[in-house]
Structure 1
Amino acid sequence: MFKGMNESSIDRLHGTVWRGVAKYQVHGEEEKVIMTRKQKAESINKQAHDNTPKKAKIEFDDVHNTTNGKSSCAEFDDLSKAMSDHLSVDDMRQILEANGIDSSASSNSDLEITRKCEDLLFYGALEKCPVCNGSLEFDGRRYCCRGFYSEWCSCTFSTRDPPRKHQTTKLPDSLHDTPVAHLLKKYEEVAPAGRPHRDLGSADKPFTGMTISLMGRLSRTHHYWKTSIEKHGGKVANSIIGSTCLVASPAERERGGTSKLAEVMERGIPVVTEAWLSDTIEKQEPQPLDAYELVTHLSAVAGDKHHPGDHPIESLVSQLKLYGKRGVYKDTKLQEQGGYIFDKDGILYNCAFSLCDHARQLNHYSVMQLITVPENHLHLFFKKARAGDDLNAEERLEEFDNVDNALREFTRLFEEITGNEFEPWERDKKFSKKPLKFYPIDMDDGVEVRHGALGLRQLGIAATHCKLEPMVANFVKVLCSQEIYRYALMEMGYDSPDLPIGMVTQFHLKRCEEALLEFIEKVKSSKESGPKAEAVWTDFSQRWFTMMPSTRPFLFRDYQEIAEHAAAALEGVRDITVASHLIGDVSGSTIDDPLSETYNKLGCSISPLEKDSDDYDMIVKYLERTYEPVKVGDMVTSGIQNVIFLCVDEYGVSVENIFSVETSACPPYEDIVKLPNKVLLWCGKKHDISTFW
């Protein structure tokens, strides 16, 4: 039979044949086999035996993803089609309810009901979320939890391989006589161990084939983004040539840009925000660049280059619309008619709210006011919108003839969006946060510095009328400028024009501080790991950015981010709140010398230090030895004690002036110098650099 072949050759041939047969079996492909008469007879007998009437049985091959010889995908499609043709949405709701799965219309669309039912019948019932004990649902890419980790945070747990219950599927009696009953019965009788496994594959690498360039001070370090981008298939390059896009902070646009940014725009390379990176990673697919574009025209970048007819830039960011507890929201235009906030029994009917929830993609604010205009007309203003998306805001301005009706509607709206009653909050600060409900931002009675301080046009006039020594007047002019505070809030990401974060009460700041300290203690004592440990950080992130609303919220991942974007930001907002109360509203007439008035409120004396003095020389040397070079565009301003003004160039900083400050709150400088064991401390960063003895 094997002519011309020796015994070893025949053995190798047998091995090849058997390996080939095994290969075809592994891949589930049909292979024609030549059978003997005896084999044919046995096959016919077996076929006759198989054709005898018996109970239908469905068998799944979990390893090869086949069902009675048919792929799981094809079988799943058959089930989906049969359900679509023969089952109504109400029928599917009954199946879900019979298996203990929520099917309420309030929380599930028809598409979600269909997805849940298909998944239940074919793959089996899902276990609860291992993090919060909520319900897992398939969203088309993975299984996500729809529960709540706390009143502040929706659960963010997701997986491609969810745990399933070891129990058979139950069918309601009402479906036993339907045309599709025979099909459903098959899935009801399948043992849990015999069900197919839903293979969603490994997570895609959405940055594959992309080269991304990073620039400027981002909310997270360049090292963090470089690691994340490379982990998800992309590359990070210092050069913009050949880059897919440039990721930059919105601050770069407001600073006037750099030569690198200008070159990027000239080459037509998209400039996008960090949100493009985080959203692409979260959704595991590249997001459209144009939806995240930072600048679309080169003229928007080169802020320092204007046409001769252009008006001076009034501010770095949009104008503040709500400056405090008595502020009428700017867009109502009622302040132009003499409108003011309605006051009754010591309560000002003016509330601002915030809500941040990463899992539900929520970063919303709301404003609600009762406004009185001359002739006793009462208006209710209500606005709810996503941060930065005024075009799609829910907004209404309604006039009321009856005060009681207006008050009832105001309190009803407060309870609707917060889940709490209005008066207990306003009188006693009693409030209990509810899931997916807004949290009140406790505004103080004053004028936020972004509104009350001097604008760019007013600074020159104010300095002209100032009675202070010119160098001191120039220093106080900086303290009284809106721009320094706008810039600081913008860089921290707390620059919403709709919420006066620089005019909140000490009670609100105290609650933020307590939340921060509580989180630190919780993390220190926690023994959780994996998704449960991540949930603790996610929960705090949502709580923080709800209490301290940001235009750029994100998830904290380590102590460094907590220090830079929570603790430091809280201190920054606290300082700006102090500045708001100190400066007040000097944005009106500048004839009365607002700079001298603010200087007197400081309660200290400020005088320039002689440049040939030993102290001046010591501070300059200390700066040269300790201060790191600053990138182009970084701004350094003033502090309160011995203040150093700094000019930023491309490679570092230099001293312009040093001021000596004598404050009534501390011992005189002459007494401090005599104290032993003293050291020069360098405090603050960028916006607030001071030296303390």
Structure 2
Amino acid sequence: MTRKQKAESKAHEGEQSPKKVKNENDQDGRKNGKTDTEKEYGEFCKAIREHLSVAQMREILQMNGQDSSGTPGTVISRCQDLLFFGPPDKCPLCNGSLDFDRIRYYCTGFYSEWSSCTFKTKNPTRKEESIKLPDSVLKTPVADLLKKYQDPSNRPRQGAPTKPLSGIMIALSSRLSRSHQYWKREIEKHGGMVSNSVKGITCLVATAAERDRGGSNKLSDALEQGIPVVREEWLVDSIEKHEPQPLEAYDVASDLVVAGKGIPLDKQDPSEEGLETLSAELKLYGKRGVYKDTKLQEQGGQILEKDGIVYNCAFVHCDIGRSINEYCIMQLITVPDSNLHMYFKKAKIGDDRNAEERLEEWENVDNAIKEFIRLFEEITGNEFEPWEREKKFEKKRLSFFPIDMDDGVEVRHGGLGLRQLGVAALHSNLEPKVANFMKILCSQEIYRYSLYQFCVALR
């Protein structure tokens, strides 16, 4: 190549390079734009935590029509999101209000008395209106910062999160399997933020060993403030699955086994729930059957029957929108040569370890019946006698519904059924509800119990 040709080639490259540089800058600009927004939000959150009290944040939420209840950590996260991105619009499905749970927005509305709205999103539509600020907040050092975001035109546009820990503030405690520096890099790399204190955090990562030793100041403060304390596996699984996992599935405070208690039944995928329900029975045999866990059947205990009413009730409460799947048992049990006993148990399906359970002895039968009726009305919102005598019942929102029990019928999770058939339903090609219904119909044990109660010998 001659000198002239080399010169012309360099000149040609010089003409083309600005366009190439511009494209690279554009791409870098977009990347930096995302990084800058996340960095801006992190600095904004830090300033809010340092200069506003929780009481002031509750006042801001109330003035802007948002929910101000909850733990301090929940209130702080909710207020930071409101002040930075603006108030969320109504639910597109039911026109209900959206609430922030530190990770995503969910609808607080209802489809009916039986089910709440299931709408959830990380990127809700925002109202184009100014944020209202109380006078006490306007006198703080962050007043100018807040005024900057009051105008909807100055707010950053919230894109769909591309990182699993976006917007999540995490604190690290105790000795983990990897160093704090390692986890700090990983958390920030995946969109999260690390705090040295528990104020305003989404969760605290700790170990079961630290809990057994009594815990550090961070752990104690987190438990006092109702902040979730999770195992290190929560970080691993959230990063691997590219989505924050349910915090309660990794809870350290109530985790009593090395391997963890696993995913709660109400958080599981339907395909996994079938196997779990093999051991999720209520242990209740018919209207006159004494609940197994009371151990009173071994002492000759029987369900109290008075004026034609059998004082034994079982309830269920299932709501997918609120991730609720609970049951409740109430019984009045008479024991020979002893006083009347009242048994009460309420728990999530598959989580008996954390159940609310009590067995009380009553000297006065009438007082025990009054307490039984009071509890029935408290958890159902309905009167007791119309249900027992005429089966009149009106379902109330977020309340339990009684199971209509007959003699010789076993009541278990998901209705009447046998857990051994859960495996068959699990591998069925039918819809889950249809498979569960067929499982009930095909259960020989239902008929065995019925025949047993009527003293019919089985050969």
Q: Secondary structure at the match of 1:493?
A: helix
* 1:213-252 alignment runs, 5 A limit: none
Q: Secondary structure at the match of 2:283?
A: coil
RCO higher in structure (CA 8 A, sep ≥6): 2
- Structure-2 change in CA distance of 1:89 and 1:494 (3 Å): farther
Q: Secondary structure at the match of 2:136?
A: helix
| Aligned mate of 2:61, from 78, 85, 96 | 96
Cα distance in 1, alignment partners of residues 282 and 38 from structure 2: 55
* Alignment-mate amino acid for residue 92 of structure 1: M
1:325 positional shift: 1.0
Post-superposition Cα deviations, 1:638-662, rounded to whole Å, max 9, x if no partner, equal xxxxxxxxxxxxxxxxxxxxxxxxx
Contact kept, 8 Å, 2:405 with 2:411, in 1: the verdict is: no
* Alignment-mate amino acid for residue 565 of structure 1: N
- What count of residue pairs does the alignment treat as equivalent? 356
Post-superposition Cα deviations, 1:482-511, rounded to whole Å, max 9, x if no partner, equal xxxxxx71233399xxxxxxxxxxxxxxxx
Post-superposition Cα deviations, 1:283-335, rounded to whole Å, max 9, x if no partner, equal 669988955889xxxxxxxxxxxxxxxxxxxxx97998321111122222323
Percent identity of equivalent pairs: 48
| Aligned mate of 1:174, from 133, 136, 147 | 136
1:426 positional shift: 0.9
1:19 positional shift: 2.4
User: 1:642 aligns to what?
Assistant: none
- Alignment gaps of 5+ in structure 1: 29-62, 205-275, 295-315, 451-487, 496-551, 587-593, 600-693
Q: What TM-score do you get using the length of structure 2 for normalisation?
A: 0.66
User: 1:27 and 2:23 equivalent?
Assistant: no
Post-superposition Cα deviations, 1:336-383, rounded to whole Å, max 9, x if no partner, equal 333221122111111111222334443322111111223562111111
- Structure-2 change in CA distance of 1:291 and 1:357 (3 Å): farther
* Alignment-mate amino acid for residue 407 of structure 1: I
- Structure-2 change in CA distance of 1:282 and 1:413 (3 Å): farther
1:390 positional shift: 2.8
- Structure-2 change in CA distance of 1:110 and 1:135 (3 Å): farther
Contact kept, 8 Å, 2:408 with 2:452, in 1: the verdict is: no
Q: Secondary structure at the match of 2:359?
A: strand
- Structure-2 change in CA distance of 1:494 and 1:447 (3 Å): farther
User: 1:493 and 2:363 equivalent?
Assistant: no
Contact kept, 8 Å, 2:163 with 2:242, in 1: the verdict is: no
Contact kept, 8 Å, 1:448 with 1:584, in 2: the verdict is: no
User: 2:121 aligns to what?
Assistant: 159
Post-superposition Cα deviations, 1:158-200, rounded to whole Å, max 9, x if no partner, equal 22332111222222233222222111111113426x5332441
1:577 positional shift: 4.5
Q: Secondary structure at the match of 1:92?
A: helix
Q: Secondary structure at the match of 1:366?
A: strand
Q: Secondary structure at the match of 1:425?
A: helix
- Structure-2 change in CA distance of 1:134 and 1:494 (3 Å): farther
Contact kept, 8 Å, 1:446 with 1:584, in 2: the verdict is: yes
Cα distance in 1, alignment partners of residues 119 and 284 from structure 2: 37
| Aligned mate of 2:52, from 70, 78, 87 | 87
Q: Secondary structure at the match of 1:411?
A: helix
1:149 positional shift: 3.1
| Aligned mate of 2:450, from 581, 595, 613 | 581
1:112 positional shift: 1.6
User: 1:383 aligns to what?
Assistant: 345
User: 2:210 aligns to what?
Assistant: none
Contact kept, 8 Å, 2:387 with 2:393, in 1: the verdict is: yes
Q: What TM-score do you get using the length of structure 1 for normalisation?
A: 0.45
User: 1:201 and 2:162 equivalent?
Assistant: yes
Q: Secondary structure at the match of 1:171?
A: coil
User: 1:572 and 2:442 equivalent?
Assistant: yes
Q: Secondary structure at the match of 1:151?
A: coil
* Rg larger in structure: 1
- Structure-2 change in CA distance of 1:26 and 1:425 (3 Å): same
User: 2:14 aligns to what?
Assistant: 13
* 1:252-263 alignment runs, 5 A limit: none
Cα distance in 2, alignment partners of residues 401 and 333 from structure 1: 20
CA RMSD of aligned residues (A): 4.0
1:97 positional shift: 1.8
* 1:54-73 alignment runs, 5 A limit: 66=33, 71-73=36-38
